[in-house]
């Protein structure tokens, strides 16, 4: 199968995606190699696409929006939750040298790791529950979650460095969802809503009494405006 023709201007000229590094990263990553062969003709359409196992490759605009919100540099230590096809990880790796990714589904993790390796992206992928993070490699300057959760995973907040950023969609699977940027200046937490979104559910079994206590503390730190938006 021949390579699909990219548009003359790729990525599209989204007015709110202004970071040159993010635009260059999307231009560099061959998205058609991260979608199933039968769908490669649509690889450069600005839509999410199924990749099997009930998972999707995100819409390029959403990839750009989430990546830009992380304010990455070449030195940023980045953790991705939800490897999927590996496309978002490749975009991250175009900007930052140190990128790790966790995928719950072993088959997707294996495929993504092989794909990223073949394309020269030095991303380490492992299979596991992303809500637990990767504590032995923490702290991280940036954490990005690519599936919708109903609560902020406390372990991911705990693994943020001071000044770190967490981008995560929150809401009900198939229902209202919003994309949030949580920042950790000097150990405190601030929050900002970025957009209404639609993601597949985050697969996790991480829920304990300790988790509930940590969630309550996070809600107190984030304030009433965030806590009042029920998902």
Catalytic residue positions, numbered? 58
140 and 160 Cβ atoms separated by less than 8 Å: yes
Measured CA to CA, the distance from residue 187 to residue 135 in angstroms comes to 17
161 and 142 Cβ atoms separated by less than 8 Å: no
- CA 161 vs. chain centroid, Å, equals 17
Measured CA to CA, the distance from residue 100 to residue 125 in angstroms comes to 6
Retrieve residue 51's tokens.
């990749």
CA distances from 132 to 193, 204, 222 (A): 23, 9, 20
Measured CA to CA, the distance from residue 144 to residue 65 in angstroms comes to 11
Retrieve residue 167's tokens.
């981008």
């Amino acid at each position: 199968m021949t390579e699909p023709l990219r548009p003359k201007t790729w990525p599209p000229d989204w007015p709110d995606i202004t970071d040159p590094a993010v635009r260059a990263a999307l231009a560099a990553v061959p998205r058609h190699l991260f979608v199933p062969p039968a769908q490669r003709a649509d690889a450069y359409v600005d839509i999410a696409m199924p990749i099997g196992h009930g998972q999707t490759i995100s819409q390029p605009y959403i990839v750009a929006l989430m990546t830009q919100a992380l304010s990455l540099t070449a030195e940023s230590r980045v953790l991705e939750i939800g490897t999927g096809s590996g496309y978002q990880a490749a975009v991250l790796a175009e900007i930052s040298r140190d990128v790790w990714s966790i995928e719950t589904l072993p088959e997707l993790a294996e495929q993504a790791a092989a794909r990223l390796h073949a394309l020269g992206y030095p991303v380490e992928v492992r299979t596991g529950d992303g809500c637990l993070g990767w504590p032995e490699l923490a702290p991280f300057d940036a954490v990005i979650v690519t599936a919708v959760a109903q609560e902020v995973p406390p372990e991911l907040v705990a693994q943020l460095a001071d000044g770190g950023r967490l981008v995560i969609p929150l809401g009900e699977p198939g229902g209202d969802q919003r994309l949030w940027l949580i920042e950790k200046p000097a150990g405190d937490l601030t929050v900002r809503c970025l957009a209404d979104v639609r993601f597949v559910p985050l697969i996790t079994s991480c829920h304990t009494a300790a988790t509930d206590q940590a969630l309550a503390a996070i809600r107190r730190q984030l304030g009433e405006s965030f806590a009042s938006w029920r998902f």
